[in-house]
């Protein structure tokens, strides 16, 4: 006997989105989360036009938009000169149904999805429940967890690890996390100040003071994420942070206030596979990228869309379990062929700018055809429906440029 058809480890946006997709189709699902609630930290916050169709299919897009705001440009600012460059996302109006990006802290997005998830009787979320181990056999997975009242054992047909870059599920599978680590750490701060008077919401390009500076809310909350060398010790980050902002922020009454901050390493890494028998990986548990282009969480959302389609077909319709191997192969290929090179180029532009890279960005921003191609590159993160039943892009019409973008 099983406790649910699918157990998902991790109540981040990827885990919750996957759970909602399953529950809406009638698949029983349990989400396990070691924390007592959704984590409120400076993490992902921008969702590309390419991923919004999936939120619409889940019935949460309107609520997500109401909780956040829409942004219709992709912009950058050169720190040394003040030069500003901007691309109009509206150029995609003939390509996609949602020609804009959604800005919403990932904790807030998780809250929106959770509100919809708990309305389904076949869905359950268990807070303060940490995975400690599992064993799989031909018919399911036996899962051991630690709870506030002691250890418990659960049974499921399929187990999904969506438990982040330090995934316990991936570790228990003994999978290598292949790739590289960048030589810098990111320091992400949620802050307030007169940013709108001095900065664009986007890239701050500079070899010394480069950052991703992004408006989070319409009432003045901003995210300012900069990089520092990993050779510097973690001790002293706050002191160096103060020096960084003294150098970057304009003098005078800026009113800068840091509300929350965290630091983390940047990687380009992927598990060797995302499917081992009846255990699957998704999101950062499967792959991690530097967040400069915003492809980390968005890539995880596409994992959830694709994996949900496969599991629904298998659980409810007796579909071929080979769909899960197809999921794993397709999503890993997307990460190495598209997510990593595009995200790496964006990081180098912002934090290691050369005149050639900067001029290339200028050329793209000045030419609508090049702008459209640049913005459409985000669709490369989507995996076409494994069953041919889901329009992953919700295109306005027949748009050959989408497939061309996947080859860019």
Q: How far apart are CA 119 and CA 58, in angstroms?
A: 13
pLDDT at residue 97, rounded to an integer: 86
The pLDDT assigned to 384 comes to 87
Per-residue confidence (pLDDT) for residue 341, from 0 to 100: 96
pLDDT over 70 for what percent of the chain?
95
Query: Which tens digits make up the pLDDT trace of 234-274?
Result: 999 999 999 999 999 999 889 999 999 999 999 999 999 99
Q: What is the mean pLDDT of the chain?
A: 92
pLDDT tier at 385 (50, 70, 90 boundaries)?
confident
Walk me through the domains of the chain, giving residue ranges and CATH numbers.
4-74+87-177+268-406 (3.50.50.60), 182-266 (3.30.9.10)
* 203: its two tokens: 């890239």
Query: Is the confidence at residue 405, as pLDDT, over 80?
Result: no
pLDDT score at 390: 61
Is the distance from CB of 394 to CB of 98 less than 8 angstroms?
yes
Q: What's residue 391's pLDDT?
A: 57
Band (407; pLDDT cuts 50, 70, 90) = very low
Assign 392 a pLDDT band (cuts: 50, 70, 90).
Answer: low
pLDDT digits (tens, 9 = 90+) for 91-111: 999 888 899 999 998 899 999
pLDDT per position as a tens digit, 149-166: 999 999 999 999 999 999
Residue 408 has pLDDT above 70, yes or no: no
DSSP collapsed to 3 states, 47-76: ECCCCHHHHHHCCCHHHHHHHCEEECEEEE
Q: What pLDDT does residue 252 have? A: 87
Closest by CA to 136, choosing from 12, 2, 11, 10, is 2
Q: How confident is the model at residue 196 (pLDDT cuts 50, 70, 90)?
A: very high
Mean pLDDT of 324-352: 96
Higher-confidence position of 121 and 253: 121
d(CA 304, CA 117): 14
pLDDT above 90 covers a percentage of the chain that reads: 86
- Beta partners for 151? 146
Is the pLDDT score of 398 beyond 70?
no
* Pairing status of strand 4-9 against strand 287-288: unpaired
- DSSP, residue by residue, 266-302: EEEEEES-SEETTEEE-GGGTEE--STTSHHHHHHHH
Give the containing element (helix H, strand E) for 21: helix 13-24
Query: 291-312 pLDDT, tens per residue?
Result: 999 899 999 999 999 999 999 9
pLDDT, residue 403, reads: 45
- Given a cut of 50, whether residue 90 has pLDDT beyond it is yes
Tell me: pLDDT of 39 over 90.
Answer: no
Q: What is the mean pLDDT of residues 39-66?
A: 89
Of 28-42, 74-88, 111-125, least confident by mean pLDDT is: 28-42
CA-nearest of 127, 238, 237 to 184 is 237
Does position 113 have pLDDT exceeding 50, yes or no? yes
Give 250's DSSP letter: P
């Amino acid at each position: 006997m099983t406790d649910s058809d699918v157990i998902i480890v991790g109540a981040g946006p990827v885990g919750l989105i996957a759970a909602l997709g399953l529950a809406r189709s009638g698949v029983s699902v349990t989400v396990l989360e070691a924390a007592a609630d959704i984590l409120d930290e400076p993490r992902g916050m921008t969702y590309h036009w390419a991923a919004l169709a999936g939120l619409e299919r889940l019935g949460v897009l309107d609520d997500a938009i109401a909780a956040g705001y829409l942004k219709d440009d992709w912009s950058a600012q050169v720190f040394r000169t003040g030069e500003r460059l901007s691309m109009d996302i509206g150029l995609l109006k003939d390509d996609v149904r949602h020609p804009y990006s959604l800005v919403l802290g990932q904790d807030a997005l998780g809250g929106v999805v959770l509100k919809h998830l708990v309305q389904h009787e076949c869905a359950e979320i268990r807070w303060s429940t940490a995975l400690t181990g599992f064993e799989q056999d031909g018919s399911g997975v036996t899962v051991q967890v630690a709870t506030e009242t002691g250890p418990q054992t659960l049974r499921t047909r399929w187990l999904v690890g969506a438990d982040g870059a330090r995934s316990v599920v991936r570790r228990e599978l003994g999978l290598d996390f292949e790739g590289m680590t960048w030589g810098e750490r990111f320091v992400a701060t949620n802050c307030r100040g007169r940013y709108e008077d001095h900065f664009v919401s986007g890239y701050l390009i500079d070899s010394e003071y480069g950052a991703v500076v992004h408006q989070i809310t319409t009432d003045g909350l901003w995210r300012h994420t900069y990089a520092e060398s990993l050779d510097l010790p973690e001790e002293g980050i706050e002191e160096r942070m103060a020096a960084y902002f003294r150098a970057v922020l304009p003098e005078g009454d800026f009113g800068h206030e840091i509300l929350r901050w965290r630091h983390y390493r940047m990687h380009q890494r992927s598990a060797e596979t995302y499917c081992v028998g009846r255990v699957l990986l998704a999101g950062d548990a499967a792959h991690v990228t530097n967040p400069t282009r915003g492809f980390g969480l968005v890539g995880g959302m596409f994992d959830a869309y694709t994996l949900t389609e496969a599991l629904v077909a298998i659980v409810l319709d007796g579909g071929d379990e080979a769909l899960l191997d197809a999921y794993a192969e397709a999503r890993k290929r997307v990460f190495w062929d598209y997510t990593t090179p595009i995200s790496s180029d964006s990081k180098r532009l912002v934090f290691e700018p050369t005149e050639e890279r900067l001029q290339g960005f200028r050329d793209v921003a000045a030419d609508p055809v090049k702008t459209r191609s640049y913005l459409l590159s985000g669709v490369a993160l989507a995996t076409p429906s494994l069953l041919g039943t889901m329009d992953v892009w919700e295109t306005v019409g027949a748009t050959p440029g989408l497939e061309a973008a996947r080859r860019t």
